[in-house]
Amino acid sequence: MRQQFKKTIMDLAGHDEQIVLLFGDVSVYLFKEFKEQAPDRFYNLGICENTMVSVAAGLSSQGFLPYVHSITPFITERCLEQIKLDICYNRFPCTIISCGATFDYAYDGASHHCHNDLAILRLLPGMEVIQPGSRKELDLLLRTRHGSGSPAYFRLSDYPHELDLPVAFGRGTVVLDTGSQATVVTAGPILGNIVEACSDLPVNIIYFTTLKPFDAELIARYSHTRFIVIHDAFGLHEAVTSCGVTASYHGLPDTFLDCYGRVGDIRQRLALDPAGIRNAVTAFAGEL
């Protein structure tokens, strides 16, 4: 997805001189070409995420459109107060783009895992929270929200799904409707595992790329069914239940992960691989 981020931003920057990119010493080499083309709009500020967010807000106050990029926990959890006050409270809109979603960097240990970012950023007034699942979705959503005047958070993963779905900002997508009384709700790249696990099961699948603003209408359309949220992060389950429905959750435990490995290993351990998801959904549907 980072390649797509670069491609889309370079295209946008070719038409909009207000774009300024700030990097926390991450993905810097990837954007070498951008730096060469627009040296006064590319800044590797170093490893100081708090200040990077404040600086971005300061640039925004002067009419620039800053994009701030670093690894997920560092550019969300570490600098939460700067996002809350300097960007949201001051209404100096910036776009935060993270990489390394959830267990992308499983092998680096819990310091590099991040599953609370979507949940906590959803709580900030005015903040848009977007989790594209594929390169194509990232491209579309980034273009849609560029220059919107709202602060936005995009969560990128190195393990996108390969599905081609009609998505739109703020709208959910019906992936599968079997008329079932069981509805699987998900967001982001994990959709790939869910489709692989459930495409022949008698369940509905609805999919979100935007956790805020959240498409409550789509949840309402399926409110006669029972929901199971399957997500490798926190935030989606809260968004669904905020619509006034109850929903089961199949995803992360309330504990730090005490192992390493690769994202696939972790998903298997947490029953978020296709086999584990199939078991969970079958059990859920069987309870109906």
| 61 contributes a contact to other proteins by CB under 8 A | yes
- Cα(229)–Cα(136) distance, rounded to whole angstroms? 24
CA distance linking residue 209 with residue 217, whole number of Å: 15
The yes or no reply on residue 60 touching other proteins (CB under 8 A) is yes
How many residues bind other proteins, per CB under 8 A?
29
E-strand spans in 126-238?
A: 128-130, 152-155, 172-176, 182-187, 204-208, 210-212, 226-230
Least distance (Å) between residue 80 CB and other proteins:
11
Tokens of 19: 């774009």
Q: Give the three-class secondary structure for 154.
A: strand
Return the number of the residue (24 or 189) whose C-beta is nearest other proteins.
24
Helix (H) or strand (E) holding 100: none
- Check whether the bond before 213 is cis (ω within 30° of 0): yes
What SS3 class is residue 223?
coil
Contact pattern for other proteins over residues 88 through 127, marking x by CB under 8 A? -xxxx-----------------------------------
40 lies in the binding site for other proteins (CB under 8 A):
yes
Q: Does 46 bind other proteins (CB under 8 A)?
A: yes
Decide: is 57 part of the binding site for other proteins (CB under 8 A): yes
Max CA pair span of the chain:
59
Decide: is 51 part of the binding site for other proteins (CB under 8 A).
yes
If binding is defined by CB under 8 A, does position 41 make contact with other proteins?
yes
Q: Which of 4, 8, 82, 186 binds other proteins (CB under 8 A)?
A: 82
Binding site for other proteins (CB under 8 A): 20, 40-41, 43, 45-46, 48, 50-51, 53-64, 81-82, 85-86, 89-92
